Amino acid sequence: MSRLKKLDPDAWDPELRVLTRADEATPLEQGLMRFFAHRPSLAKGMMGFAGALKMHRSLSDRLVELVRLRIAFHNQCRSCMAIRYRDAVADGVDEDLVCSLERPAEAADLTDAERTAIDFADRFATDHLGIDDRMFEKLREHFTEPEIVELGMTVAFFVGFGRLAATFDMVEELPDAFKDHSRRLSPWGEESIVVR
């Protein structure tokens, strides 16, 4: 059971309801917005930032999804680990590729750029002060400076909001494995759900 009350879209600010297309979304797709709707102005601001990251993205949907799922593992955000986004699936993210995230440095189906982005995300999520000049040299081998800025902002969003989501413990709509709090989970090897 979630630790906070989720608001039904009928109780949301009307503008927020339209912006999120809440009436067309499943409860799982409504996601954290069911909590954020308690503070509509803040929710709209967060949506603006998240929307800009998505709409003005230069990084591939595949790379962003791989980074998101690896961070979800570090955050132990169960809803983040269970979900796969449709645009990333269309860009080649399947469960075999997700299984590569268990040992990304050894994965043959990841590109060098993806491995580097995942390495950056791992460090950001677990030891951000360990990110040094060498890490940025590695990033520059594969990404432009604007892409590195975008990657950093994307990773920061996933780490912060993923940790927040983990604390809210929104697991009701997830496959049973993600409801089991007795063990550490991963996004690989468990059932997943594709959403819009």
pLDDT tens, residue by residue, 22-53: 999 999 999 999 999 999 999 999 999 999 99
Tens of pLDDT along 76-109?
Answer: 999 999 999 999 999 999 999 999 999 999 999 9
- DSSP states of 104-140 as a string? GGG-TTS-HHHHHHHHHHHHHHH-GGG--HHHHHHHH
- CA Rg, the chain, in Å? 17
Mean pLDDT computed over every residue of the chain = 96
* Residue keyed to tokens 């990773």: 155
Convert the pLDDT of each residue in 104-154 to its tens digit.
999 999 999 999 999 999 999 999 999 999 999 999 999 999 999 999 999
Residue in 5, 19, 96, 94 with CA at minimum distance from that of residue 51 = 19
* Residue 85, φ and ψ in degrees, nearest 5: -90, 135
Q: According to the model, what pLDDT value does residue 71 have? A: 98
Instruction: Give the model's pLDDT for residue 1.
Output: 81
Domains of the chain, CATH where assigned: 1-56 (no CATH), 59-195 (1.20.1290.10)
The answer to which of 88-102, 157-171, 180-194 has the lowest mean pLDDT is 180-194
Confidence of residue 7 (pLDDT cuts 50, 70, 90): very high
Render pLDDT for 52-77 as a digit per residue (tens, 0 to 9): 999 999 999 999 999 999 999 999 99
Percent of the chain with pLDDT over 70: 100
pLDDT band at 196; cut points 50, 70, 90: confident
Average confidence (pLDDT) over 167-190: 93
Model confidence at 195, pLDDT cuts 50, 70, 90, reads very high
- Please give the Cα distance from 53 to 55 (Å, whole number): 6
